[in-house]
Structure 1
Amino acid sequence: MGAQKRINCGVIVVAAGRGERAGSHPDGPKQYRRIAGRPVISHTLEAFVKWDPACRIVAVIHRDDRDLFDTALDHLEGGRDRILAVTGGRTRQQSVLAGLEALSSLDVDHVLIQDAVRPFVDTVLLDRIAATLASGECAVLPAVAVADTLKRSDSAGHVLETVPRTGLFAAQTPQAFHFATIRDAHRRAAEDGRDDFTDDAAIAEWAGVPVRLVEGSAANVKLTLQKDLIMADERLSAPLPDVRTGNGYDVHQLEPGDGVTLCGVFIPHDQRLKGHSDADVALHALTDALLATCGAGDIGDHFPPSDPQWKGAASRIFIEHAAKIVRARGGTIMNADVSLIAEAPKIGPHRDEMRRRLSEFLGIALERCSVKATTNETIGFVGRREGIAAIATATVVYRGQPS
């Protein structure tokens, strides 16, 4: 449970239905159909397992579904020991009562009653419900305001009237209650032979219990039809782009000389950059940025300045090596951006050539290469023309989904 006040609660997940509207399927009823490789009910159970490590969960299942339910539990990462399975009844109302009776011996103060086929319930919604219960409400109903225009029709399918939608809401689950209050209301309904309630909030209303509305979640949909299951599978299975951004920074001291090399372009100048290699501060920063996208260390790990073989080496060796590492790990370089900070020489006349070199070194389109320059307004070591600094950013997309 999040930062909300903790409540002593149990959870009932209603999963005894046959789900005829979703059609027949080898996996069984819709609560056991697979979305993203796992049964729907396992997604639903896991939401509560992760939300509150202290809550006890009762799953109400059909008498014929024990093997299917056990398989669904195999997909949980943890919390299986907190889940009790009981057999449901002929109607949803009877199944909920069976769950409430099972919770009676577990000493809970509140209960959340959830449809097994609402796998997208989230922590934010659960925390909102729990906070409302903690404030003293006996019954809490998450709901979303009706947005569509509503029509009432006759038996032949002709519109009789437009129904005002003001004050109308679509009910969701989990519906939450003071435990003894809803259990006793269910018992009374069963004794009176009332089995026509469509949800637990309706039973609370019948019993005279005030029901408090709280904001529901548009994502918390109920999977009813085959198309709902297909959309849910697509929603959970759609690969997330594994986009990574690396940042690099480098600085080299200036000393008397005949020119500097930046982004692989030699620019005549009355100073040169001091370094073990050609001291191309731009390519050094970009090398670090590329290596950062796959956790491959920095330029010093691959090309130690203490190694004499790199003395005076062209820095294109370093940047091409970094690009090779990125590609070997499944990366596609999408963009390279270099910002040079220098009082002199002027970068503008050489910017296009620098971009062409970056495109060549990295094997990407010219439009994906950016070179910018600014001065340091005569402030600091750059302003005193003692050195040149570079900041580089690389964007890389890797194969597979982020872990």
Structure 2
Amino acid sequence: MPEVITKSQSQILQTSQPKIAVLIVAAGRGSRAGAGLPKQYRTVAGKMILSHTLDAMRTALPNVPIKVVVHRDDLELYHAAAKGFDLLEQALGGATRQESVRDGLAAMAHIAPDYVLVHDAARPFIDRDTIERLVSALERGAMAVLPAIPVTDTLKAVSDEVITRTVKRDGLYSVQTPQAFRFHALLEAHERATGDQYTDDGAVMEANDTQVRIVEGNDNNFKITTAADLTKAEQMLMMRLADIRTGSGYDVHRFEEGDHVWLCGVRLPFTKRLKGHSDADVGLHALTDAILAALAEGDIGQHFPPSDDQWRGSPSDIFLSFAKDRVLAKGGVIAHVAICLICERPKIGPHNIAMRARIAELLQIDIRRVSVQATTTEKLGFTGREEGIAAQATATVRLPFGEN
């Protein structure tokens, strides 16, 4: 069995030495996850998988330097996933995982860490306890340490879909990441291993005649590999977001002379325009207020007062993106939004899909989680007299319990 390490992570990290760094490998293509983006950039529970992984690692190790190795074709996706994180400049990966790790280590050599944790980008469920055990083992003199869990399933050797023998599972473990090493020992081992192919960094150290130890891993720390794994990860992440809140918003803007209106982020040709300090997008204003209401964080006027000239003529995309970012900053997701536009004209139906698509783009959620409806007041009231447009909106957000 893996040795049990009890030394507190806080004891290790509160000292100036040893210096720990993290290398996250995100240069793979992830073809087994099915068609689409590389798996580390797929969205689950409202965020890219890499963003979830960075969140988990930064929570476990708040102050250590983190470098991500990325594919040169994914730089734009990487910057989107890494937005808001304080990270070292990314490194560009090679043709194989082994090359990517070697290149990432070389790019970290200038900070000269004592220890390095090498982690897969597609493992967003790494926990602090596992990292404690890894770092503590290094502190006790180990050169290389892997988190591992014992194999519990019966193992069979198979040839041409026929079982040839049963493999004894005694002493067999499946290993996970992050894998922990003394930095210079791992870098040197990778430099010697040029031309060879190994499936993980522990194997690189083994080939270098280095004793590799194990500590207890975590069953939840699985690697997202297949489409089924994506579904499993979504379910696990959503279970953490059990604080479900709903907010509502309402807004009105009158018409004035013009030749178009902005509604739900879409420019509609019209015989008038909506009057307002910004672009007067009544739909996005109501939705912004609904999201802020779900967070109990005031309304659009408090954050973007009409008395402030810097917002004059601004696109309402800015306001909605601000509200979305407030949800993400709390570790939450936007589960569903709905807008009802109240007007006689312009006709909303022909633009419904474009409006939903634009809102989904701004909120970074699936279009199936966005509803846009329209109704009239049967010629009654100011909307019936075509003096303006009203909008009401609702937003459902999910937050971790304990988040204010």
Q: TM-score, normalised by structure 2?
A: 0.57
1:210 corresponds in structure 2 to 211
Residues 265-309 of structure 1: CA deviation (Å, up to 9, x unaligned): xxxxxxxxxxxxxxxxxxxxxxxxxxxxxxxxxxxxxxxxxxxxx
Q: What is the rounded CA distance, in whole Å, between the counterparts of 2:243 and 2:61 in structure 1? A: 30
- Once residues 180 and 123 of structure 1 are traced to their aligned partners in structure 2, the CA distance between those partners, rounded to angstroms, is 24
The answer to whether 1:24 aligns with 2:31 is: no
- Counterparts in 2 of 1:174-323, with a 5 A limit? 174-190=178-194, 193-194=195-196, 196-238=197-239, 241=242
8 A contact 1:4–1:131 mirrored in 2? no
For residues 226 and 55 of structure 2, the distance between their equivalents in structure 1, rounded to whole angstroms, comes to 22
Which position in structure 1 is the counterpart of 2:298? none
For 1:370-394, what per-residue CA distance to the aligned partner results, in whole angstroms no more than 9, with x for missing partners?
xxxxxxxxxxxxxxxxxxxxxxxxx
TM-aligned CA deviation for residue 400 of structure 1: 6.0
Partner amino acid, structure 2, of 1:17: G
What amino acid is the match of 2:121?
Answer: A
CA distance in 1, matches of 2:103, 2:163: 41
In structure 2, relative to structure 1, the CA distance for the partners of 1:188 and 1:400 (3 Å cut) is closer
Change (3 A) 1:142 1:62: same
Deviations 1:117-143 (A, max 9, x none): 000001111111111111111000110
Letter of the 1:45 partner, please give it.
Answer: L
Q: Conserved in 1, the CA contact under 8 Å of 2:19 and 2:114?
A: yes
Deviations 1:204-250 (A, max 9, x none): 0000110011000001000000110111012112375559xxxxxxx
> 1:45-103: CA deviations, max 9, x gaps?
122222223311110000000000011012x4xxx333321110000000000110011
SS at match of 1:104: helix
CA distance in 2, matches of 1:213, 1:225: 26
Pick closer, same or farther for the CA change 1:236–1:204 going to 2, 3 Å: same
Q: Secondary structure at the match of 2:193?
A: helix
Which residue of 32, 37, 60 corresponds with 2:69? Answer: 60
- d(CA) in 1 for partners of 2:243 and 2:106? 47
Amino acid at match of 1:8: K
Instruction: Give the corresponding residue for 2:143.
Output: 138
20, 26, 34: which is aligned to 2:43?
A: 34
Q: Is residue 51 of structure 1 aligned with residue 56 of structure 2?
A: no
Aligned to 1:124: 129
Helix, strand or coil for the counterpart of 1:17?
coil
What residue number does 2:356 align with? Answer: none
Change (3 A) 1:157 1:68: same
Deviates more, 1:202-211 or 1:44-53: 44-53
Rounded to whole Å, the distance in 1 between the matches of 2:243 and 2:98 is: 45
Change (3 A) 1:220 1:4: farther
For residues 165 and 131 of structure 1, the distance between their equivalents in structure 2, rounded to whole angstroms, comes to: 28
- Is 1:114 paired with 2:119? yes
Deviation at 1:5, TM superposition (A): 2.0
Percent identity (aligned)? 42
Q: Rg larger in 1 or in 2?
A: 1
Aligned to 1:3, what secondary structure does the other structure show? helix
Per-residue CA distance 1:345-384 (angstroms, 9 max, x = gap): xxxxxxxxxxxxxxxxxxxxxxxxxxxxxxxxxxxxxxxx
By how many angstroms is 1:109 displaced?
A: 0.5
1:167 counterpart residue number: 171
User: AA paired with 2:42?
Assistant: R
TM (norm. structure 1) is 0.57
Secondary structure of the residue that 1:151 maps to in structure 2?
strand
The answer for unaligned runs of 5 or more in structure 2 is: 1-7, 245-396
Q: Structure 2 vs 1, CA of residues 240 and 97 (structure 1 numbering), >3 Å: closer, same or farther?
A: closer
Taking the aligned partners of 2:187 and 2:48, their CA distance within structure 1 comes to: 29
Inter-CA distance 65–214: structure 2 relative to 1 (3 Å threshold):
same
Residues in 2 aligned to 1:106 and 1:46: alpha-carbon distance in whole angstroms: 22
Provide the rounded CA distance (Å) in 2 between the counterparts of 1:122 and 1:167.
24
Aligned CA distance change for structure 1 residues 239 and 135 (closer, same or farther; 3 Å): closer
| Amino acid aligned to 1:3 | S
Letter in 1 for 2:136: A
Give the whole-Å Cα distance in 1 for the aligned partners of 2:398 and 2:218. 29
Which position in structure 2 is the counterpart of 1:157? 161
Letter in 2 for 1:215: E
Relative to structure 1, the CA distance from residue 173 to residue 241 in structure 2 (aligned partners, 3 Å threshold; closer, same or farther) is closer
Aligned pair count reads: 239
Contact 2:9 2:135 (8 Å CA) reproduced: no
**Structure 2 CA distance for partners of 1:182 and 1:137, relative to 1, 3 Å:** same
Given the alignment of the two structures, is residue 3 of structure 1 paired with residue 10 of structure 2, yes or no? yes
Residues 186-214 of structure 1: per-residue CA shift (max 9 Å, x gap): 00011xx21x2010000100001100110
Q: Which moved more, 1:198-207 or 1:45-54?
A: 45-54
- Pair 242,58 (structure 1): closer, same or farther in 2 beyond 3 Å: closer
Q: List alignment gaps of at least 5 residues for structure 1.
A: 244-398
